[in-house]
Amino acid sequence: MKKVKRSYDDYVAYFREGTLSDKEIATRLGVSRVNVWRMRQKWESGEISVNEDSKVTISEDTFEHLVAQTFKSEVKAKKVKGELDLERSNLELGFIRAFKQYSSIELASMLSKIDDLRFKIDSLNKQCNKKNA
């Protein structure tokens, strides 16, 4: 298998991502694990510093990998947001149900008090009517 020469920036892109082991990075880049290890040593020690004016050059497959990872992250974020919205809606429905049950219990007790008062008013009206008649 012919090993491909990669730029330092190709390695750094994977190191910053932090999701792959050196072995997986070597496989993706088509280089030896020793090269990945050496580049990681340079990267961790800060031996190669990048100026603000310098350009970062990465290979097309590294770029495509980073775009794919970004897309996966966005999909996961949208999924989590959807789940969160669903849970919030479920909580709102639960609150509405609980409030409805509470209010129906309160209304039932109020209705019984109203009926008792109506009965008392009716009985008082009857007593007044008997006295006036």
Residue 131 covered by a domain: no
Per-residue pLDDT 10s for the chain (133 aa) are 555 678 888 888 888 888 888 898 888 888 888 988 988 888 888 766 655 556 777 778 888 888 988 999 999 999 999 999 999 999 999 999 999 988 888 888 888 899 999 999 999 999 988 888 6
Q: What is the pLDDT of residue 6?
A: 80
Q: For residue 94, what are its two tokens? A: 């639960």
Residue 21 belongs to domain with CATH number: 1.10.10
Alpha-helical regions (H) of the chain: 8-17, 22-29, 33-45, 60-132
| Cβ neighbours of residue 13 closer than 8 Å, sequence gap 6 or more | 58, 62, 65, 66
Residue 70 covered by a domain: no
Considering its fold, how many domains does the chain have in total? 1
Residue 129 covered by a domain: no
Residue 73 covered by a domain: no
Residue 89 covered by a domain: no
Q: For residue 116, what are its two tokens? A: 């008792």
Asked whether 7 and 58 are in contact (CB, 8 A), the reply is yes
Residue 88 covered by a domain: no
Residue 17 covered by a domain: yes
